[in-house]
């Protein structure tokens, strides 16, 4: 059975900035759909401007792994769509939050944090170090790899304490950053990956694409069915047989 | 300087259920304010029915540690008040989520999870085990202590992976539960403590009160001032001096 | 390619206690080798009494997942064999520590803790709760399952903080315990599983066998090759060109 | 009551290398004892060459926080002294592992890992970023601070998964590193701090000294007394009253 992937993209910069359009003529979502295509994946895309942002209940319920890229329009994403996505993660759906999605509603809702960081756009060099080489997301990646031009994100990065760091970045301008980390929320898995500024062809880099391809396979749901409601495994006497004595330690209702 | 504590309580059951009123004539908030009174604390209370639920910007900004008890009216808590409380936690305020607050908006927002669990109300015995005796919240607590009658909460409990467990419960009916755990979100600390069903005098138990007293001291803010915005520590050449070449790896803006 | 499994057993109780021999006539190792046999596994056994405890460099180097059961003879295991096993875990080998292996040298070496706990042997009921139903080790397991007679292990259990708990136990006598947890050390994975006292037929229970079978598949190495030694990715001026000035901040060698 | 601090130093380089002696004429231990002196601390030192390395049972039992610097002579430290120190950590003693102590026996024993990393000695610039500004060890530290000349340590750094990172380093030569992290083992706390190569006056840097001073206060024991041995809190029928039936699920002993 194929893994059902939905690539969600706000798709704003490509329409307002001709330089971004030159890098991604089909949008970041369109580009990634082609670049990540594989026999074991069934990929579709969805964008902000579609009804319910393209994330109807039917689409979300039938997604195994979602990718999320947003930046300029985080506030335009409806709260009930975010809740739908989050609840699906709790059920087991995987989600990859990309680059500036660190300030998206869904990233903050899953981390429980602000997602704040320091940043600078100066087209500087970024070098990513593989901190956990034995993680499935790092499979086939070198010890370190470089992106010649990227936006800088710097620490402190306000993320959940249980962020398991797979990649760390070194920046030409002097900063460090936890650039790739995993979380588990309910039955579902999240992966955040930092690189991917819209004005650079980062998503054409083979190492970056390999990280995303690995992460999709890693984030697939393990479990789909919820547990049935349970009853007491041990025999308990009925409430009414116990003393009612609110003054001491008693049962009241 | 005193630690400024705000005890927030939805204050619903005491008004609708005479049995609860018998246990807590002044409300759970009123009871806790008296029971936790100490020279190093400045305690105030706030309830759902007050304007802005008693949690105005001024109150929240001047709170070091907040206690939160809610159950019947989670949905009636305004989203912007929840956001205000959460942002204050990120700044450094401590928060104690009590009993059925596991389904409150603030608990879910800080965990990033659903807070779901199994439950049963049968007035059964609960025994709490001190799993991390070296934690400041466990100071002075015995290896285990009992509550003769409590509601049961059972695993799996949907909480964040980085929950550090201090207390675990054994229930007469056969379940186990992670009853006391800590989280850190941004600069602030959270502690969840399970016991405290409104129909039993749990908050009169000396061990329970000791846990809460310890947790208030542990949750006090360490840091209050935010960092200033930073600039590149290393010299970077101006953007314009780099090649512009979107077809390869170039700078666009 | 098959997963190469080595089941290590101290094999002491079966020889000294006829009651244990009745339950496991072929030893726990012999029983498990048969009970866990599967087309994707290549299983061998090793025991304390063999030269180098059956864990020669060749055996260890050619093991993907090791199972470890010990109790009466922890101290008789040679330190250099323990080091060999630990270094192989760091390289990527998986290891399952079973029952009283909580006090084995390898368990303590991987946790960095004493492994201490409370215990009682009274043939009481144990109920295991699946705390993380989405973990691969929990695949196919029910929400909870029971063992009618087992030894009791109780909290506090001195294990590493990063123990990720998959199963928790409830005991008839009133205790709770983190009965199944995972660790990662270097490139290798560890799983500890509590049940398995030698006087009860615990390893004949289908749920227990399923946990072990799942854990073997989960613990398989992800990575085998170490990284090459690296050199500075950024150009650095030779040491000799910098000032030597030990009184201030200088370079000395 | 004063916090009893023992600074342990192998004290080898100062005797063999005149350049190191120029930086630390009294040895790193002697220097730190003076530089960290404070009214709330009672500081003593101990070195490798003393009987039992200066870490007799009496010294260790009466230490609240130990500092450990070693490099050239890790193998010369007796195993039973390491075990004594580790067991004292489990009881509640704090320990600070400094710089090349990442390969010491005690560091590896507490992490359960190899402590391996990449390194280069080129007298390059190190910049430390405060990743968790709300941690007590970071109190009073700036967002980032620099050391003009240091040895480089690079990722991947083989440490325990539960390492809570407080500081991260950026190196002039292009690497990143988790330079300051905490662990908890048993009742005791550990802090590792990377900078401190013997040929540079790193321990004269005010920020470095502040980190160590903070860490000593943070690592003080919370608990000293062990728990008493426990008995079953719930009534259990005597073993003999249960059926003995090894063929099914029975009690054997």
Q: What value of ipTM does the predicted structure carry?
A: 0.88
Q: Closest approach of chain B CAs to the CA of A200, in angstroms?
A: 6
Nearest to C110 among D112, D184, D230 (CB): D112
- Min Cα–Cα distance to chain A from B187, Å: 9
Q: What is the chain B residue with the closest CA to C132?
A: B156
Chain C residues whose CB is inside 8 A of the D230 CB are 118, 154
Is D24 in a helix, a strand, or coil?
A: coil
> Which residues, including other chains, have CB under 8 Å from residue A204's CB and lie 6 or more apart?
A31, A35
- For residue B176, the chain D residues in CB contact (below 8 A) are none
**Using a CB-CB distance cutoff of 8 angstroms, which residues of chain B are in contact with residue C132?**
156
Report the pLDDT averaged over residues B150-158: 94
Does the beta-carbon distance from B144 to D233 stay under 8 Å? yes
Q: How far is D78 from chain B (nearest CA, A)?
A: 29
Å between B127 CA and nearest CA of chain C? 8
Read off the pLDDT of residues B185-227 as tens digits, 9 standing for 90 and up: 999 999 999 999 999 999 999 999 999 999 999 999 976 545 5
Would the pLDDT of C230 be above 60? no
Say what the pLDDT of residue A64 is: 97
B neighbour chains, 3+ CB pairs within 8 Å: A, C, D
- B188 and B170 in contact (C-beta within 8 Å)? no
Query: What would the pLDDT profile of C54-99 be if each residue is shown by its tens digit?
Result: 999 999 999 999 999 999 999 999 999 999 999 999 999 999 999 9
At residue D238, the pLDDT reads 54
- Over range A53-60, report the average pLDDT: 98
| Interface size, chain A vs chain D, as Cβ–Cβ contacts under 8 Å | 48
What does the pLDDT read at residue D239? 52
Write down the residue that tokens 């509590």 correspond to.
C194
Q: Which residues of C touch B129 (CB under 8 A)?
A: 154-156, 175-176
Poorest-pLDDT segment among A17-26, A219-228, C28-37, C75-84: A219-228
Q: Does C181 contact chain B (CB < 8 Å)? A: no
User: Along the 253 residues of chain D, how does pLDDT read in single tens digits?
Assistant: 899 999 999 999 999 999 999 999 999 999 999 999 999 999 999 999 999 999 999 999 999 999 999 999 999 999 999 999 999 999 999 999 999 999 999 999 999 999 999 888 888 999 999 999 999 999 999 999 999 999 999 999 999 988 999 999 999 999 999 999 999 999 999 999 999 999 999 999 999 999 999 999 999 997 644 554 446 678 776 554 344 343 333 333 3
Interface contact flag, C134 A223, Cβ < 8 Å: yes
The neighbours of chain D, by the rule of 3 or more Cβ pairs under 8 Å, are A, B, C
More confident residue, C170 or C118: C170
Q: How far is C87 from chain D (nearest CA, A)?
A: 8
Question: How distant is the Cα of B171 from the closest Cα of chain D, in angstroms?
Answer: 11
Cβ-defined contact of A133 to C227 (cutoff 8 Å): yes
Q: Measure CB to CB from residue B250 to each of A149, A185, A253 and give the nearest one.
A: A149
The beta-carbon neighbor of D156 closest among A133, A155, A157 is A133
- Dist CA C94 CA C104 (whole Å): 16
| Percent of chain A's residues with pLDDT above 70 | 89
Structure confidence by residue, pLDDT tens digits, A92-128: 999 999 999 999 999 999 999 999 998 888 889 999 9
Distance CA A52, CA B228 (A): 38
Find, in chain A, the residue whose alpha carbon is nearest to that of C188.
Answer: A134
Question: What pLDDT does D120 receive?
Answer: 87
CA distances from D221 to A238, D93, D217 (A): 46, 5, 9
Tell me if residue A181 falls in helix, strand or coil: strand
116-175 in chain A: CB under 8 A from chain C = 127, 133-136, 139, 143-144, 146
Counting residues of chain C whose pLDDT is more than 90, the rounded percentage is 82
Task: Say if C64 is an interface residue toward chain D (CB within 8 Å).
Answer: no
Average pLDDT, chain C: 90
Nearest Cα to Cα of residue D138 among D164, D158, D113: D164
Measuring CA to CA, which residue among C135, C128, C175, C185 is closest to residue C152?
A: C175
A198, A23 in Cβ contact below 8 A?
yes
What is residue B77's predicted lDDT score, i.e. its pLDDT?
Answer: 97
Q: What is the pLDDT of residue C238?
A: 54
Tokens of B198: 């409104």
Tell me which chain C residues have a C-beta less than 8 angstroms from the C-beta of B175: 129, 170
**Residue D246's pLDDT is what?**
39
Q: Do B170 and C175 touch (CB under 8 A)?
A: yes
pLDDT confidence band for C253 (50 / 70 / 90): very low
Split at pLDDT 50, 70, 90, the class of B244 is very low
| Cβ neighbours of residue C60 closer than 8 Å, sequence gap 6 or more | C6, C66, C84, C85, C88, C93
Say if the Cβ atoms of D157 and A131 lie within 8 Å: yes
C30: contact with D, CB 8 A cutoff: no
What are the tokens at C101?
A: 């292996």
Mutate to test the interface with A, among D170, D175, D182 (most CBs of A within 10 A): D170
Instruction: Return the closest-CA partner of residue B32 out of B45, B20, B42.
Output: B45
In 3-state terms, what secondary structure has residue B9?
Answer: strand
Segment C7-31 shows an average pLDDT of 96
Chain center to CA of D155? 19
* Angle at C143 (CA atoms; ends C139, C149), nearest 5 degrees: 105
SS3 of D223-235: CCCCCCCCCCCCC
pLDDT of residue C32: 98
| Nearest CA-CA distance, residue D130 and chain C, Å | 22
Q: What is the pLDDT of residue C1?
A: 87
Contact C149 D233 (CB under 8 A): no
pLDDT at A8: 98
């Amino acid at each position: 059975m194929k893994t059902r992937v939905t690539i969600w993209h706000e798709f704003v910069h490509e329409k307002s900035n001709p330089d971004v359009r030159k890098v991604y003529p089909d949008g970041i979502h369109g580009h990634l759909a082609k670049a990540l295509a594989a026999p074991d994946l069934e990929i579709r895309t969805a964008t902000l401007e579609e009804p319910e942002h393209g994330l109807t209940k039917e689409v979300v319920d039938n997604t195994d792994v979602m990718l999320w890229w947003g930046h300029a329009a985080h506030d335009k994403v409806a709260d009930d769509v975010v809740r739908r996505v989050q609840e699906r993660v709790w059920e087991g759906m995987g989600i990859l939050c990309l680059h500036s999605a660190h300030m998206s509603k869904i990233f903050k809702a899953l981390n429980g944090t602000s997602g704040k960081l320091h940043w600078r756009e100066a087209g500087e060099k970024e070098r990513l170090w593989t901190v956990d080489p034995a993680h499935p997301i790092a499979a086939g990646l070198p010890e370190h790899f470089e992106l010649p031009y990227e936006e800088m994100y710097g620490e402190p990065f306000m993320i959940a304490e249980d962020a398991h760091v797979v990649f760390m970045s070194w920046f030409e301008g002097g900063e460090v950053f936890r650039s790739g980390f995993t979380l588990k929320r309910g039955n579902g898995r999240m992966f955040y990956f930092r690189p991917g500024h819209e004005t650079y062809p980062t998503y054409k880099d083979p190492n970056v694409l390999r990280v995303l391809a690995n992460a999709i396979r890693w984030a697939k749901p393990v479990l789909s069915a919820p547990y049935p409601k349970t009853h007491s495994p041990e025999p308990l006497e009925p409430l009414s047989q116990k003393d009612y004595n609110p003054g001491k330690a008693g049962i009241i209702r």
